[in-house]
Amino acid sequence: MPTAKLTKSVEALSALAHESRLAIFRLLVRTGPEGMAAGDIARKLDILPNTLSASLTVLGNAGLVASRRDGRSIIYSADYARMTGLLEFLMEDCCNGDAAICAPLAAIANKAACC
Partner DNA sequence: ACATTATTTCCATAATTCTGGAAATATAGA
Partner DNA sequence: TCTATATTTCCAGAATTATGGAAATAATGT
Binding positions for DNA, rule: CB under 7 A: 14, 17-18, 20, 37-40, 42, 48-54, 56-58, 67, 69, 71-74
Q: Report DSSP state, residue 23.
A: H
Of positions 4, 71, 72, 92, contacts its own copies by CB under 8 A:
92
Which residues have C-beta within 8 Å of that of residue 32, sequence separation ≥ 6? 77
CB 65 within 8 A of CB 77: yes
- Rounded to the nearest whole angstrom, what is the least distance from the CB of residue 5 to its own copies in the complex? 10
Which residues have C-beta within 8 Å of that of residue 76, sequence separation ≥ 6? 28, 35, 36, 37, 38, 41, 56, 59, 60, 65, 66, 67
- Rounded to the nearest whole angstrom, what is the least distance from the CB of residue 73 to DNA in the complex? 3
Does residue 4 touch its own copies according to CB under 8 A? no
Pairing of strands 73-78, 65-70: antiparallel
**Closer of 51 and 84 to DNA (Cβ):** 51
Residues lying near its own copies in the complex (CB under 8 A) = 2, 6-7, 9-10, 13-14, 16-19, 22-23, 26, 29-33, 80-81, 83-84, 87-88, 90-99, 101-106, 108-115
